[in-house]
């Protein structure tokens, strides 16, 4: 078994997922115009990518041990390619539609986004337990390094989208030029999907950590009812809404608020995340994960609130810096703590937590779109800033709770289960 190749393939698969996220955000306005949608309808079009992600990651996480990691990753690669091709050929309505399901084009766009979400969920369902298994002694660190490639893909996808915009002169484009631009950008994602699909052909994958340790299926599922895990499940909804909702709307909102190419804000914050996760992934072990999450919540709240009042590029980039640092460790640390505190839960609990994150994003996107329509672009960020304020209080309380019990510690599979 080639652990290094499996790790690199996992990174490329995650890059594919985040490239799609960045490019989808960049083309949101173009799709809105081309398909004659409102911002709220566009938020609803984007939502199935996250609902599909959540559904896929939860179901696939339960079936990883039976269907096999390689088969699920191959299905993801095929799903990416097929869904993109379907969206590219979707017919456009001649004017506004009352319902997304009343026209073949908007329904096809909705279905394509759903399949993209299913494909993204398959990636997350496999790579998290895979890395936790092959690097069982340094889970949170390696998961942070792996998930450095989420912002890495955001940077890559954002720069590609920006380069295409500039090279094709798409600023203010309409009609066929607008359509050709978003089609080219979306089509680029097919390339990394092909790469990771080819990389895993013929590769041997390990059994998951809980299977290797002899933990029964019943034990695995019983872990999800522990009170601390139920709290963790709720917290994942909130951290994901803080990170992913603003990220997806970043190009559109910041273009309106600060008056420059909004995709550059996403690239900038993603670049910071990549560096911090890749080179600072050990922070969760040097400091308490709860302390790290508390700090992330404080910075995210300040950053989002400041972004909503940033009226110049300089102020916007300053606020984006604070938000970018704040959101950096949310996702991988939430997954790392899940694996460390509830190892008997195996891929199921990691998938449930990841699925909760995507369900949250699917909920916050149309809500932010509604705020955008009714109160303006800045309000979408300002209202979302309330969530990390609440997170600060909860993570702070958890930090004190674990400190009173001797400090945060990972649970070994041969020790007493976590509370």
Q: How many residues does the chain have?
A: 419
Question: In Å, how far are 36, 108, 181 from 178, measured between CA atoms?
Answer: 13, 19, 5
Largest CA distance in the chain: 65
What CATH homologous superfamily does 3-404 map to? MFS general substrate transporter like domains (1.20.1250.20)
Region 346-371 average pLDDT: 84
| 267 touches 23 (CB < 8 A) | no
271 CB-near residues (< 8 Å, 6+ apart):
151, 155
- pLDDT > 70: what percent of the chain? 95
Lowest-pLDDT choice from 101-105, 279-283, 315-319: 279-283
| SS3 assignment for 254-323 | HHHHHCCCCHHHHHHHHHHHHHHHHHHCCHHHHCCHHHHHHHHHHHHHHHHHHHHCCCCHHHHHHHHHHH
Task: Tell me: pLDDT of 415 over 50.
Answer: no
pTM: 0.77
Res. 262 pLDDT band, cuts 50 70 90: low
pLDDT of residue 418: 53
* Spatial distance between the Cα atoms of 128 and 83, rounded to a whole number of angstroms: 24
Identify the residue with better confidence: 110 or 174: 110
Which range has highest mean pLDDT (1-5, 14-18, 136-140)? 14-18
What's the pLDDT score for residue 293? 94
3-state secondary structure of 326: helix
């Amino acid at each position: 078994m080639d652990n290094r190749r499996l790790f690199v393939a996992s990174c490329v698969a995650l890059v594919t997922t985040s490239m799609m996220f960045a490019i989808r955000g960049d083309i949101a306005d173009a799709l809105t115009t081309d398909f004659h949608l409102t911002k709220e309808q566009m938020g609803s079009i984007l939502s199935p990518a996250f609902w599909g992600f959540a559904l896929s990651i939860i179901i696939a996480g339960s079936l990883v041990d039976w269907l096999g990691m390689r088969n699920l990753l191959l299905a993801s690669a095929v799903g990416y390619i097929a869904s993109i091709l379907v969206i590219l050929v979707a017919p456009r309505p001649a004017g506004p539609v009352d319902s997304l399901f009343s026209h073949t084009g908007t329904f096809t766009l909705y279905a394509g986004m759903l399949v993209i979400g299913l494909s993204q969920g398959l990636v997350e369902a496999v790579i998290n337990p895979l890395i936790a298994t092959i690097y069982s002694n340094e889970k949170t660190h390696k998961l942070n390094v792996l998930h450095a490639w989420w912002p890495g893909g955001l940077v890559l996808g954002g720069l590609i989208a920006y380069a295409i915009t500039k090279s094709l002169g798409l600023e203010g484009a309409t009609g066929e030029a607008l359509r050709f631009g978003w089609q080219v950008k979306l089509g680029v994602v097919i390339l990394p999907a092909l790469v990771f699909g080819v990389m895993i052909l013929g590769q041997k994958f390990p059994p998951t950590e809980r299977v290797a340790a002899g933990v029964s299926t019943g034990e695995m599922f019983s872990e999800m009812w522990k009170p601390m895990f139920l709290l963790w499940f709720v917290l994942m909804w909130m951290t994901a809404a803080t990170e992913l909702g603003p990220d997806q709307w970043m190009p559109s909102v910041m273009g309106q608020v600060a008056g420059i190419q909004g995709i550059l804000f996403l690239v900038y914050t993603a670049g910071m995340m990549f560096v911090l996760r890749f080179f600072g992934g050990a922070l969760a072990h040097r400091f308490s994960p709860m302390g790290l999450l508390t700090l992330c919540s404080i910075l995210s709240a300040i950053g989002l609130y400041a972004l909503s009042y940033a009226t110049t590029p300089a102020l916007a980039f300053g606020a984006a810096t604070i938000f970018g640092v704040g959101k950096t460790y949310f996702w991988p640390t939430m997954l790392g703590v899940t694996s460390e505190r509830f190892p008997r839960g195996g891929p199921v609990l990691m998938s449930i937590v990841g699925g909760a994150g995507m369900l949250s994003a699917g909920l916050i996107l149309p809500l932010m779109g509604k705020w955008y329509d009714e109160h303006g672009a800045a309000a979408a960020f300002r209202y979302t800033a309330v969530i990390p304020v609440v997170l600060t209080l909860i993570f702070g309380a958890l930090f004190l709770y674990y400190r009173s019990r001797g400090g945060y510690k990972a649970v070994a599979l041969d020790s007493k289960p976590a509370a």
